Amino acid sequence: MKKWNLVIDIARCHDCNDCFLADKDEFVGNDFLPYSVAQPWSGHRWMNIERKERGQYPIVQTGYLPLPCMHCDDAPCVTADGAVYKREDGLVIIDPVKAKGRPEIVDTCPYGAIYWNEEAQVAQKCTGCVHLLEDGWTETRCSQVCPTGAIKLVMAEDAEMAAMAAAEGLRAYKAELGTKPRVWYKNLHRWDKVFASGSVAYADTDEVAEGAKITVSAGGAVVGTGETNNYGEFIVDHLEPGGEYEVTIEAAGYKPVTKAVTLAESLNLGLILLEKA
């Protein structure tokens, strides 16, 4: 059967928080029994936007990670008594009646996606807009409102979804947790990988070096390549954080330069001058 999946493209998110607000508009003050009771005015972020910067001035990238409940297929929050349960369509729901008075449910989520409603004395989270989907909606409130198309609801068979993930390079956030999320991210490298960057110029002319070849190696193997742009700048991305790398810059007629770096985070190597060969 077709199941619920959310595909989120990090490169398209610009942190407008429309999805966060649409969630508030839908759930604050509104009960949707048997799936949810009203979300409180403050303190809950059922769609949470995490933020980070990569690199250093002047080569800096921002990354935004919209983080709802992942509706995991192997969800540690699911309970044997049905207080938190998995539906056939893939959605994970907290039953607001059975889960009443059980704050311990909040701590079962490794993604921090469950919140405690003090007034209603119940654990709560993103429901995947199950009440709307049952009314025939083909969007969640967050996917409908996103102005850049960063969030898409995909109802698909698991095999179809796996094929789409492979074809489009979709990945789960923190897949190592082993919970098998149904939220898939595109361009997740902008969150969990690092880049090496820099600016290259010719020492003899003071001109920027456009088209210089960049090679990044680790343990003798090439792990990334790039080229300087018309400002002499380069970014080689998708590198594993924490690794030790050699960054080599080459341009015809000039001596190659190699820099050894440890990339605990994305790094701007600064200005690199090439001397005449």
3-state secondary structure of 141: helix
3-state secondary structure of 80: coil
The dihedral region occupied by 123, where left means phi > 0, alpha psi between -120 and 50, and beta the remainder, is beta
Nearer to ligand SF4, 44 or 71 (CB): 71
Which residues in 24-53 contact ligand SF4 (CB under 6 A)?
49
Among the listed residues 36, 127, 179, 228, the single contact to ligand SF4 using CB under 6 A: 179
Q: How far is the CB of 177 from ligand SF4 (least distance, A)?
A: 8
Among the listed residues 6, 37, 83, 92, the single contact to ligand SF4 using CB under 6 A: 92
Q: How far is the CB of 77 from ligand SF4 (least distance, A)?
A: 3
Neighbours of 88 (CB within 10 A): 7
Whether the link from the prior residue into 103 is cis, omega within 30° of 0, is: no
- Interacting span for ligand SF4 (CB under 6 A) from 72-80, 153-161, 233-241, 265-273: 72-80
Nearer to ligand SF4, 176 or 206 (CB): 176
Cα angle value 17/20/25 (rounded, 5°): 125
Pairwise CA distance, residues 57 & 167, whole Å: 34
Pairwise CA distance, residues 122 & 222, whole Å: 52
Contact call for residue 151 and ligand SF4 (CB under 6 A): yes
Q: Which residues bind ligand SF4 (CB under 6 A)?
A: 13-19, 49, 64, 66, 69-72, 75-77, 92, 109, 111, 113-114, 125, 145-146, 148, 150-151, 179
